[in-house]
Amino acid sequence: MNACIIAVGSEMLTPFRVDTNSLFVTEHLNTIGVDVRMKAVVGDDVAELTALVRGALEWADVIVMTGGLGPTEDDITRDAVARVLGVSMSENEAVVSRIRERFAKRGITMPEINRRQGMVPDGATLVENPNGTAPGLWIEHGRTAMVLLPGPPREMKPMFEAIVRDRLASRSGGEGLFRRVIKITGRTESDVDATVQPIYGPWQSQDVPISTTILAVLGQIELHLTARAADRVAAGRALDAAVGELQGALGEAIYSVDGLGLEAVVGQALRDRGLTIATAESCTGGLLSSRLTDIPGSSAYMQQGVVCYSNESKTSWLGIPAALIEEYGAVSEPVAKAMAAGIRAKTSADVGVGITGIAGPGGGTPEKPVGTVAIAVSAAGDERVRTFQFFGGRELVKFQSSQAALNMLRLLLGYPRS
Ligand code: ATP
């Protein structure tokens, strides 16, 4: 089955509001095997909405519309749908009295204008709205099921879940889409694609077909595997086999196969090994310690994070000899190593990290351009240091530095275990 999702509301054509409802609707349609083929955002304009719905009726099995069911003149969804279907609308007394009661409970007399929310196109079935005034509407027209839901996400979500469970799941033929998100860092997108393309190509035509999407996001690459199967068990088996093939090809570049973020993977590794960590950051200004502490329960392993931005603070806080900074420069592997060792010594944490670099836009030199970052990780008997060259603005350099540091920590800790 193919679906079209329409978000109605002029505010979503401005830079201030985005349509998030369609993400939720897509996710739930996918789980019952319905493909979303088109999404649209349309302003509060009956003519434009009418044209859009008329076009979608020619091909879609399901049209989900959210928003525009409120009481005011610019809430036009019902009118547009009635117009396309050529049906009239009548006031549903039961709906109006329910709305009146909701107002009465708050001690308010229902404004007359709210009667509009009781207008129901002929042939429509009501969908209960436990969290608001406007009911949703379910309308069948030829092969197409139309679902009209209010815009506020907290009203729309439980209503759409009920629609999927009670009405759509049985129509969709029983197959569902099941996802797995594989996360990779330390490799480029083209390199990953060249490695995995020959592997995922044949998955399309196997018994449980799997489609693959590559997404490059800040400092990492995600492979989204989507299996189409009759049930979760069959999908799980096919996805496990696919993930195994990818692990064989990409090895330790894969840091998670279940969507976990890098900071969570590092946290898990520290926790499993019963180790503590302390960080000394310069150019990242505490971003690494912030990301480490984003994980609930990180107090089990996070001991201390310091920001030593000036050379003087590197010397006074971490005990790095001024002569070392003088000789190699603040952004150098010897200084990164001294920062990692220094914070470890100062805190007696099991693992230390040092990050020093040039986030830009100023401060670069021909030998050390903007984006040069030296990172060291240090644990008993194991010390690693690397110099990276990152690109992008200040924020990107900072983020990629924290990402690279987390990845070095993960590899130092040997995680995930093969
Ligand atoms: P109401 O009865 O509350 O007026 P409605 O169906 O008329 O419901 P809208 O007025 O279109 O809904 O939207 C109400 C609010 O819901 C918007 O201000 C916005 O915050 C949110 N909203 C609407 N559509 C979306 C969407 N597609 N994604 C995310 N939020 C949305």
pLDDT 10s digit of each residue in the chain, 418 long? 999 999 999 999 999 999 999 999 999 998 888 989 999 999 999 999 999 999 999 999 999 999 999 888 888 999 999 999 999 999 999 999 999 999 999 999 999 999 999 999 999 999 999 998 889 999 999 999 999 999 999 999 999 999 998 899 888 776 788 889 999 998 888 999 999 999 999 999 999 999 999 998 888 999 999 998 888 899 999 999 999 999 999 999 999 998 899 999 999 999 999 999 999 999 999 999 999 999 999 999 999 999 999 999 999 999 999 999 999 999 999 999 999 999 999 999 999 999 999 998 998 999 999 999 999 999 999 999 999 999 988 999 999 999 999 999 999 999 876 5
Tell me, what's the pLDDT at 219?
A: 80
Q: Is the CB of 75 within 6 Å of ligand 1? A: yes
Query: Is residue 217 helix, strand or coil?
Result: strand
Q: Using DSSP, how many helices (H) and how many strands (E) does the chain show?
A: 13, 17
Tally of CB atoms within 10 A around 33: 18
Hey, what are 30's tokens?
Answer: 């996918």
Q: Report how far residue 292's alpha carbon sits from residue 297's, in angstroms, rounded to the nearest whole number.
A: 10
Q: Is the CB of 134 within 6 Å of ligand 1? A: yes
- Ligand 1 centre from 93 Cα, in Å? 24
Query: Is residue 140 helix, strand or coil?
Result: strand
- Ligand 1 centre from 322 Cα, in Å? 60
- Ligand 1 centre from 204 Cα, in Å? 38
Looking at residue 361, what DSSP letter applies? S
Hey, what are 275's tokens?
Answer: 């180790």
Hey, what are 374's tokens?
Answer: 């030296």
- Ligand 1 centre from 250 Cα, in Å? 44
Tell me, what's the pLDDT at 258?
A: 87
Burial class (CB in 10 A: 0-12, 13-18, 19+), 71: middle
Tell me, what's the pLDDT at 411?
A: 95
Testing ligand 1's pocket by substitution, the residue of 66, 72, 78, 149 carrying the most ligand atoms inside 8 A of its CB is: 66
Q: Report how far residue 277's alpha carbon sits from residue 102's, in angstroms, rounded to the nearest whole number.
A: 54
Tell me, what's the pLDDT at 134?
A: 84
Q: Report how far residue 349's alpha carbon sits from residue 274's, in angstroms, rounded to the nearest whole number.
A: 11
Atom of ligand 1 minimally distant from the CA of 133: 2
Q: Is 145 within 8 Å of 171 (Cβ atoms)?
A: yes
Cα-Cα end-to-end distance for the chain: 40
Q: 167-181 burial, b if ≥16 CB within 10 A, otherwise e?
A: bbbeebeebbbbebe
Q: Report how far residue 319's alpha carbon sits from residue 307's, in angstroms, rounded to the nearest whole number.
A: 14
Tell me, what's the pLDDT at 418?
A: 52
Atom of ligand 1 minimally distant from the CA of 75: 7
Tell me, what's the pLDDT at 186?
A: 87
- Ligand 1 centre from 154 Cα, in Å? 10
Residue with the smallest CA separation from ligand 1 atom 4 is: 70
Task: Give the DSSP H/E element, type plus range, for residue 39.
Answer: strand 35-42
- Ligand 1 centre from 117 Cα, in Å? 14
- Ligand 1 centre from 77 Cα, in Å? 12
Residue with the smallest CA separation from ligand 1 atom 16 is: 152
Tell me, what's the pLDDT at 40?
A: 98
Hey, what are 220's tokens?
Answer: 């990492």
Residue with the smallest CA separation from ligand 1 atom 23 is: 151
Q: Is the CB of 151 within 6 Å of ligand 1? A: yes
Q: Is 184 within 8 Å of 260 (Cβ atoms)?
A: no
Residues contacting residue 84 through CB under 8 Å, at least 6 positions apart:
50, 53, 54, 57
Query: Is residue 95 helix, strand or coil?
Result: helix
Q: Is the CB of 136 within 6 Å of ligand 1? A: no
- Ligand 1 centre from 340 Cα, in Å? 50
Q: Is the CB of 152 within 6 Å of ligand 1? A: yes
Tell me, what's the pLDDT at 226?
A: 92
Q: What is the pTM of this model?
A: 0.72
Tell me, what's the pLDDT at 56?
A: 98
* Strand runs labelled E in 210-337: 210-217, 220-229, 254-256, 277-281, 302-307
- Selection from 292, 287, 290 nearest residue 276 by Cα: 292
Atom of ligand 1 minimally distant from the CA of 44: 11
In sequence order, what DSSP letters do the residues of 310-339 get, joined into one string? SHHHHHHHH---HHHHHHH-SSSHHHHHHH
Sign of the torsion angle spanned by Cα atoms 30, 32, 33, 35? negative
Atom of ligand 1 minimally distant from the CA of 9: 11
Q: Is the CB of 20 within 6 Å of ligand 1? A: yes
Q: Is 1 within 8 Å of 61 (Cβ atoms)?
A: yes
Q: Is the CB of 352 within 6 Å of ligand 1? A: no
Q: Is the CB of 69 within 6 Å of ligand 1? A: yes
